Amino acid sequence: MKEILIKYILHLGDNALVLGHRNSEWCGHGPVLEQDIAITNIALDLIGQARNFYQYAALLEGGDTSEDSLAYLRTEREFKNCLLTEQPNEDWAHTILRQFFFSQYQWLLYSELSKSNDEQIAAISDKAIKEVTYHLRWSSEWVIRLGDGTEESHQRMEEAIDNLWPYTGELFIASDFEKAANEFGIGPDVSLLKTVWENNVKQIFDEARLEMPTAGFAQKGGKQGIHTEYLGYILAELQYMQRTYPDSQW
């Protein structure tokens, strides 16, 4: 039971950390100053959520485990984030769409988790959903602005949809630890979130004059630690300092 709970919490934390790290790569490179700050704020929100989950997981794990050791000293195969979160930034359209897809999911997930049997998870989710509500609003407006914008922005959104859609299916395929967490009343049955997610995405896509893809092959494996080639590079950058200078602090 404890083992499942830790896995489940790490999965929640890894999603937030990896997407937060991806967004943080925009820091200093945003299309305009105001949006640079916006995406960096979102990155900080997500990394803050990851910290809350890691601190809780470290508490359950006990011993020398800390939020830092969970973020900096686990290998690629130990990370349980969904593949969507590790996809590269590419351009503003890809970044926006990745955030939009994930915020739609995270919003539904945290709504359910705030009713979790586990009080700590419920409390973290209850706090985080306010942040996610804003991420969802911000990314939805950008999807509409780009989709219903210029010829180029529309085309870039279509490319982003083609590239990222195959990674959305995994969000709703429950892993062993999600199924177990569901049985204990800790987390929701993620497969049940799919229809609502699709309806909500379609509503924004309609407004953005973007075509909703038909369901297709879903890339999966992230939750089991089988990642795309990108995660290794993310971790190399993220963990370099701690691995080169163990226990360094500032």
Partner 1 sequence: MNIRKFYYGDIPEDAGGGSSVPSRKKESIDTSVNIERKDWPLWEVFIRSKQGMDHKHVGSLHAADAEMAIENARDVYTRRMEGVSIWVVESRNIHASNPEDAESFYEPANDKIYRHPTFYDLPDELEHM
Q: Which residues bind partner 1 (CB under 8 A)?
A: 32-35, 37-38, 41, 134, 137-138, 141, 145
CA 216 vs. chain centroid, Å, equals 21
Rg of the Cα atoms in the chain: 18
Q: How far is the CB of 231 from partner 1 (least distance, A)?
A: 28
Q: How far is the CB of 35 from partner 1 (least distance, A)?
A: 8
For residues 199 and 179, what is the distance between their CA atoms, to the nearest angstrom? 24
- Residue 72 or 134: which CB sits closer to partner 1? 134
| Rounded alpha-carbon distances, angstroms, from residue 8 to 11, 16, 106, 178, 217 | 5, 13, 14, 6, 25
- Residue 6 or 42: which CB sits closer to partner 1? 42
- Residue 41 or 120: which CB sits closer to partner 1? 41
Q: How far is the CB of 16 from partner 1 (least distance, A)?
A: 19
For residues 198 and 228, what is the distance between their CA atoms, to the nearest angstrom? 24
- Residue 41 or 114: which CB sits closer to partner 1? 41
Q: How far is the CB of 205 from partner 1 (least distance, A)?
A: 18
How many other C-beta atoms lie within 10 A of the C-beta of residue 240? 11
- Residue 35 or 191: which CB sits closer to partner 1? 35
For residues 170 and 245, what is the distance between their CA atoms, to the nearest angstrom? 36
Q: How far is the CB of 30 from partner 1 (least distance, A)?
A: 11
For residues 99 and 106, what is the distance between their CA atoms, to the nearest angstrom? 10
